[in-house]
Amino acid sequence: MTAVTIVEVGPRDGLQNEKASIPTESKIAFVDALSRSGLKRIEVTAFVSPKAVPQLADAEAVMRGIVRGPGIRYGALVPNETGLMRALDVKADEVAVFTAASESFNKKNINASIAESLARFAPVMQEAKRRSLPVRGYVSTAFWCPFEGRITPKAAADVARKLFDLGCGEVSIGDTIGKATPKDVRDLAVALASAGILDRCAGHFHDTYGMGVANALAAFEAGITVFDGSAGGLGGCPFAPGATGNVATEELVWLFEGLGVKTGVDPAKIAEAAAVIEPALGHPIEGRVFRALRKGSRSSQNPS
């Protein structure tokens, strides 16, 4: 294996928890800058209730405003048929549905059991299939749940399996609260392989405890070749205010290119895109590659 695919989720997963109201034009400029980085897949927004996620209330305007790059798939999260119709209306190239591996988390997050949320996706999947629209599934809290603690690999793999059975072409396995370590990743990879779905799963890691890059390494070596990243490490962990967010896209690129694995993505261009959105956030970008690349250099007297 000499290549991986990176799915940029910054404009959606990265921005949805930001407190400042980010102007639509800034979001469009951000996505347009990302489109110049070599990325082939960008999750642009979510067609969810503006009451639930006010930050993404301008989903249509963003999708309509971006300049689409050649060969790039622009996706959007949809919770139900209404969301799907909105996404289709603005010609999303791909949609994503989401559920959790933890019953408690799903209840708290979307007020539905896992089974109920899967049932809710059935008509979405049917309509998407009719239109040959690719559907990605998200399994959040696939390793750890803030309410239940450890989620068994089997439980997470079962939910992923059900999403494939419903028609998802890819399922992104999310370490929502960032507590997973490479051992957890390897254990889940074994369960996904047993279920025959490992090669269609993506890794979605958060950096809350600094494990994002190490988990991506472990996942890659276990057979995963699609990774979600967020430019500049945008995204918060809603269960740890002030904590860091999604693993940074440019750190994934640094890792994989360093391993001799092609990403097709220019980390400096990702850092540029993060710099485009930074002024609208009201706080500095966290990503370490971002900071290393954007701050220049000087010499020093220090030994190590």
How many residues touch a copy of itself (CB under 8 A)?
A: 67
Residue 26 vs 208, nearer CB to a copy of itself = 208
Closest to 204 in 3D by CA, of 239, 242, 177 = 177
Q: Which of residues 71-130 bind a copy of itself (CB under 8 A)?
A: 77, 79, 98, 108-110
* Distance separating alpha carbons of residues 70 and 232, to the nearest angstrom: 24
From first CA to last CA, the distance across the chain in angstroms is 35
Q: Is 201 known to be catalytic?
A: no
3-state class (DSSP) for residue 75? strand
Q: Which of residues 228-287 bind a copy of itself (CB under 8 A)?
A: 237-244, 248, 251, 254-255, 257-260, 287
Choose the catalytic residue: 145, 168, 201, 237: 237
Q: Is the dihedral of CA 203, 209, 214, 218 positive or negative?
A: negative
Contacts of residue 272, Cβ cutoff 8 Å, sequence gap at least 6:
33, 37
- Shortest distance (Å) from residue 44 CB to a copy of itself: 15
Q: Is 298 in the site for a copy of itself (CB under 8 A)?
A: yes
3-state class (DSSP) for residue 69? coil
Q: Is 40 in the site for a copy of itself (CB under 8 A)?
A: no
Taking only Cα atoms into account, the Rg of the chain, rounded to an integer number of angstroms, comes to 18
Q: Is 2 in the site for a copy of itself (CB under 8 A)?
A: no
Q: Is 57 in the site for a copy of itself (CB under 8 A)?
A: no
Near a copy of itself by CB under 8 A: residue from 36, 73, 262, 291: 291
* Distance separating alpha carbons of residues 38 and 41, to the nearest angstrom: 9
The DSSP bridge pattern shows strands 94-100 and 135-140 to be: parallel
Residues of the shown chain interacting with a copy of itself in the complex, contacts defined by CB under 8 A: 13, 16-17, 46, 52-53, 77, 79, 98, 108-110, 138, 140, 146, 172, 174, 176, 178, 180-184, 204, 207-214, 216-218, 237-244, 248, 251, 254-255, 257-260, 287-289, 291-292, 295-304
Q: Which sequence positions are flagged as catalytic?
A: 237
